Structure 1
């Protein structure tokens, strides 16, 4: 599709009608105010015409995207951005072209911030793997819907999600060896202390933790 025009129409600067009139006219305050009002209204009309012209081209359309989607038979999700909607329409308009791995990757990466989604084709099994990072529910549903729209009917889809993490795990351990020594008196007899005595004790609670390390 050809590049869209710049939509400048008759001028590419803000409307200022004073440029076309002698400066002494603005000594009249009422005349100056009226001319400023006319300049403002002319500028609104210029911007309105330029905005309407942009809707005739998918690459620049905004509020006109609803009409484009109706024309090509598409619906958009509430979460879709303007650029996402434009890309879907352009792909639909180019529907006569073959669906390739590259075009599918462009399709799914509309919903992936780092554009890391990849597609692996398996012609021998009539299937394709879609490798995507973890995304939110709405993005995942949109990816699945778009893929169903554009992928050939005889190709099955397999979605594989992954998450890259960079985490360090630190484990501290204290090893202690305890030896128990039993001391018995030579003769067992009644002990009757003449004064009170105090015993100091330290209580330790130990929790048993079993770690299973995968791959070892």
Structure 2
């Protein structure tokens, strides 16, 4: 029984009498396995052609754009650095800077111009937090920003969680009736409280004549 996908395909092109031949099955199993491995290798090489999907080929991209390879660093961070480096070769505008920094950090970036004389602001918003060390980000901004401008940073970290609030309203009322003129005294209170559990108490004092 041939397990190779390519081997089975090739064997089907032959006369059916060879399907029961152990020799032919062994030959096409060996040949088919080589073609299977070649197909996988082609797919793997295609991934290395783009920094967004490169794995072992990422070091070639880093060398091309002048970055130092650090295999201990998270591969997604390394990919972002390469992409940011490639994007920084064009004329720098707030929109392009935002795109570069977003590729670099994965955060939402907003560039605020002229927050003070010769200063622009970089606002980073993330739902996944930020790494402790943002030194690489600061260096990248210093490389791509106009040299005569200063920069100010604002980091916004959004936390997604469920928060529950409880509220209780307590109301009391005291009624005093005198002189006594009726055999029956009724008191009625109607209260509405939005989003609250209300607890009410009432004290009724009736003095006889």
TM-score for both structures, normalised by structure 2: 0.58
74, 83, 86: which one pairs with 1:79? 74
Distance 1:95 1:162, change over 3 A: closer
Alignment pair present for 1:44 and 2:55: no
> Which has more strand, going by share of residues?
2
Distance 1:136 1:53, change over 3 A: closer
More deviation, 131-140/36-45: 131-140
Alignment pair present for 1:23 and 2:22: no
Structure 1 partner of 2:153: 159
Distance 1:151 1:23, change over 3 A: farther
- Gaps of at least 5 residues in structure 2 are 173-209
Structure 2 partner of 1:65: 58
Answer whether contact 2:121 2:151 (CA < 8 A) is retained. Answer: yes
Alignment pair present for 1:144 and 2:135: no
- Gaps of at least 5 residues in structure 1 are 1-13, 177-216
In 2, the alpha carbon distance for the partners of 1:80 and 1:156 equals 31
In 2, the alpha carbon distance for the partners of 1:50 and 1:161 equals 39
Q: 1:104-123, aligned counterparts within 5 Å? A: 104-110=97-103, 111-112=105-106, 115-122=107-114
SS at match of 1:153: coil
TM-score for both structures, normalised by structure 1: 0.56
Following superposition, the deviation at residue 174 of structure 1 comes to 7.1
In 2, the alpha carbon distance for the partners of 1:136 and 1:65 equals 23
CA deviation map 1:9-39 (0-9, x unaligned): xxxxx63422442232111123213312320
The size of the alignment, in residue pairs, is: 159
Answer whether contact 1:119 1:129 (CA < 8 A) is retained. Answer: yes
Q: 1:160-199, aligned counterparts within 5 Å? A: 160-164=154-158
Answer whether contact 1:105 1:119 (CA < 8 A) is retained. Answer: yes
Answer whether contact 2:109 2:123 (CA < 8 A) is retained. Answer: yes
